[in-house]
């Protein structure tokens, strides 16, 4: 494969030099005058819809200062993504994140950031920066939105998405394009997929646990990379990321065409489930149903949490796919979603 590179577990450490590493922060913290370093392994975990707090505590108070919280986005073009700026007199929010942000102020030295109603795109690295005249200090905290990464193909077949089409397709399935760190974590949890897909930063990768000839001859397990690709010209699949939902998925048994399945869900005060909603139900509710059913994108899938021979004969849990059958001639049950 042209320009194919292998990113191994140990190679990932090289990549992580661009992000926050707790040991490095602890060493750097020796030079901090005003801010306390974050806790060891400064990672906060939450699920979509929850409220979380990112820690930032002062060890000393300058006479005059301001605290600025921002989200670190290496792929962002333009000014930094400032969330809020605060001094002792007040606090000013900025942008969409600012509307859901506030300072905790649990005590007079507390500058911790509170985010309400966590969303998928909130995942990432955040910086708390204290500015005192010409001096400034900062600490970085990681926010991990707990979720699941899933590969997604177009109904037109393998490698049909430009970057922007992949991004839109994930959004239509209640998800976002996954980040590299999300794909990496999914690989450590068992994701093995032989088709390359777009990630949020415009790069293309695929995760391999069991090396095999069809997935690159002579290469070891790891995250295999095609690097950055032309977002308008190159075409691949997508790796999407989703988290828990406010509603629930349920199965309706029957032999329905796609249109009949949609009508069946509507009669029950629901709608055909999105692919991301089915994956969220499988991941967070351990949903297990050994029956193929229509989803809103015209695909047919079923979730298995307790693998068994009569449900595909695959040893690993997962969401199985029958692809995109003929919507009129093929007959399956329906997976419905009710808010």
The 10s digit of each residue's pLDDT in 184-211 is: 999 999 999 999 999 999 999 999 999 9
Classify domain 5-10+147-242 at the CATH class level.
Answer: alpha beta
The pLDDT value given to residue 88? 76
Residue 34 tokens, joined: 């005003």
Q: What is the mean pLDDT of the segment spanning 273-298?
A: 97
The pLDDT value given to residue 133? 87
The pLDDT value given to residue 41? 63
Q: Which of 8-17, 42-51, 112-121, 161-170 has the lowest mean pLDDT?
A: 8-17
Residue 187 tokens, joined: 């690989």
The pLDDT value given to residue 27? 40
The pLDDT value given to residue 26? 41
Residue 202 tokens, joined: 């415009």
Name the E strands within 48-156.
Answer: 52-54, 66-72, 81-86, 91-93, 101-103, 113-115, 124-132, 135-145, 148-152
Q: Give pLDDT tens digits for 240-283.
A: 999 999 999 999 999 999 999 999 999 999 999 999 999 999 99
Given the DSSP bridges, would you call strands 135-145 and 43-46 parallel, antiparallel or unpaired?
parallel
What is the 3-class SS of 157-185, one letter each residue? Answer: ECCCECHHHHHHHHHHCCCEECCHHHHHH
Q: What is the mean pLDDT of the segment spanning 53-77?
A: 89
Q: In what order do the strands lie in the sheet with 113-115?
A: 52-54, 113-115, 101-103
Whole-number Å distance between alpha carbons of 336 and 339: 10
Label residues 98-136 b or e (16+ Cβ within 10 Å = b): bebbbbeeeeeeebbbebeebebbbbbbbbbbbbeeeee
The pLDDT value given to residue 80? 87
CATH number of 32-145: 2.60.40.10
Output the CA torsion 81→86→91→97 (10° steps).
20
pLDDT beyond 70 at 28: no
Residue 279 tokens, joined: 């994956």
pLDDT beyond 90 at 313: no
Residue 285 tokens, joined: 């509710």
C-beta atoms surrounding 218 within 10 Å: 7
Q: Which residues pair with 239 in a beta bridge?
A: 151
The CATH 2.60.40.10 domain(s) of the chain lie at: 32-145
Residue 36 tokens, joined: 């306390």
The tally of CA atoms less than 13 A away on the side-chain side of residue 306 is 5
Nearest of 74, 55, 89 to residue 16 by alpha carbon: 74
Given the DSSP bridges, would you call strands 293-294 and 300-304 parallel, antiparallel or unpaired?
antiparallel
Whole-number Å distance between alpha carbons of 292 and 60: 60
The pLDDT value given to residue 3? 40
Q: Give pLDDT tens digits for 96-137.
A: 999 999 999 989 899 999 999 999 999 999 999 999 888 899
Contact 314, 320 (CB under 8 A): yes
pTM (two decimals): 0.84
User: Residue 188 contacts by C-beta under 8 Å, 6 or more apart in sequence?
Assistant: none
The pLDDT value given to residue 10? 30
The architecture in CATH of the region 248-338 reads Roll (3.10)
The CATH 3.10.100.10 domain(s) of the chain lie at: 5-10+147-242, 248-338
User: Residue 219 contacts by C-beta under 8 Å, 6 or more apart in sequence?
Assistant: 4, 6, 208, 211
Q: Give pLDDT tens digits for 139-165.
A: 999 999 999 999 999 999 999 999 999
Residue with the larger pLDDT of the pair 332 and 78: 332
Three-state secondary structure call for residue 287: coil
pLDDT beyond 90 at 289: yes
| Confidence tier at 220 by pLDDT (50, 70, 90) | confident
Helix (H) or strand (E) holding 264: helix 258-267
Q: What is the mean pLDDT of the segment spanning 322-334?
A: 97
């Amino acid at each position: 494969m042209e320009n194919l590179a292998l990113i191994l577990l140990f190679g990932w450490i090289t990549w992580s030099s661009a992000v926050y590493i707790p040991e490095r922060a602890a060493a750097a913290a020796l030079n901090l005058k005003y801010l306390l370093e974050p806790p060891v392994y400064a990672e906060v975990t939450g699920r979509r819809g929850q409220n979380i707090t990112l820690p930032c505590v002062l060890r000393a108070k300058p006479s005059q200062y301001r605290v600025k919280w921002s989200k670190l986005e290496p792929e962002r073009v333009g000014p930094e993504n400032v969330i809020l700026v605060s001094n002792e007199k007040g606090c000013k929010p900025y942008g969409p994140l600012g509307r859901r942000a506030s300072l905790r102020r649990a005590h007079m030295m507390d500058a911790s950031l509170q985010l309400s109603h966590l969303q998928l795109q909130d995942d990432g690295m955040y910086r708390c920066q204290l500015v005192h005249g010409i001096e400034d200090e900062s600490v970085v905290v990681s926010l991990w939105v707990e979720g699941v990464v899933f590969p997604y193909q177009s109904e037109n077949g393998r490698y049909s998405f430009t970057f922007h089409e992949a991004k839109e397709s994930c959004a239509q399935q209640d998800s976002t394009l996954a980040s590299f760190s999300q794909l990496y974590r999914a690989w450590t949890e068992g994701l093995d997929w032989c088709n390359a897909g777009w990630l949020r930063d415009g790069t293309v990768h695929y995760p391999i646990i069991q090396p095999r000839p069809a997935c690159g001859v002579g290469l070891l397990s790891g995250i295999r990379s095609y690097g950055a690709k032309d977002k308008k010209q190159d075409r691949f699949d997508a790796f999407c990321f989703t988290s828990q939902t406010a509603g629930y998925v349920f199965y309706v048994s029957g032999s329905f065409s796609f249109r009949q399945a949609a009508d069946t869900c509507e009669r029950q005060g629901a709608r055909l489930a999105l692919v991301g909603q089915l994956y969220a139900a499988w991941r967070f509710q351990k949903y297990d149903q050994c029956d193929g059913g229509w989803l809103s994108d015209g695909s047919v899938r079923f979730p298995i949490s307790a693998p068994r021979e009569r449900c595909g004969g695959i040893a690993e849990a997962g969401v199985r796919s029958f692809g995109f059958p003929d919507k009129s001639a093929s007959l399956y049950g329906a997976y419905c979603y009710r808010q």
